[in-house]
Amino acid sequence: MKQSKNAQPAKGWIYADYQMTTFSNSEETMATKYYLGDDELHYWPQDALTKAGGNYSRSEQDWHPHIVVDRELITGQNNKSAVGVAKTLLKQINQ
């Protein structure tokens, strides 16, 4: 993985200290190998969110659904989380 040496935590980021999720580094490793032809990413989402100031969480196993809701932010870990994210969004809209 390439990483910019100039990356810094985001100052004033509106989602700092929020709970959130995205593809885990281990899922990105697998996706990079099998779907991106071993192309290198400059920033991996898990690392980027953590460095920016987000509080990252993940499912215990790769490729399992994991949905995180913190205030208005709804995030899903991976494609297996899509249905859960949609249901959560609909529930939030209908409140």
Looking at the domain assignment, is residue 38 inside a domain? yes
10 Å Cβ neighbour count for 72?
8
Looking at the domain assignment, is residue 39 inside a domain? yes
Looking at the domain assignment, is residue 79 inside a domain? yes
Largest CA distance in the chain: 44
How far CA 57 is from CA of 14, 39, 51, 54, in Å, comes to 18, 25, 14, 10
How high is the pLDDT of residue 71?
Answer: 96
Looking at the domain assignment, is residue 36 inside a domain? yes
How high is the pLDDT of residue 6?
Answer: 59
Q: What total number of domains does the chain contain?
A: 1
How far CA 66 is from CA of 7, 14, 33, 84, in Å, comes to 27, 22, 22, 8
The per-residue pLDDT string of the chain (95 residues; one tens digit each, 9 = 90 and over) reads: 455 555 566 788 899 999 999 999 999 988 888 877 767 777 789 998 998 899 999 999 999 999 999 999 999 999 999 999 999 999 999 98
Looking at the domain assignment, is residue 53 inside a domain? yes
Looking at the domain assignment, is residue 68 inside a domain? yes
Q: Containing domain of residue 56, as a range?
A: 19-93
pTM as predicted: 0.84
β-partners of residue 72 are none
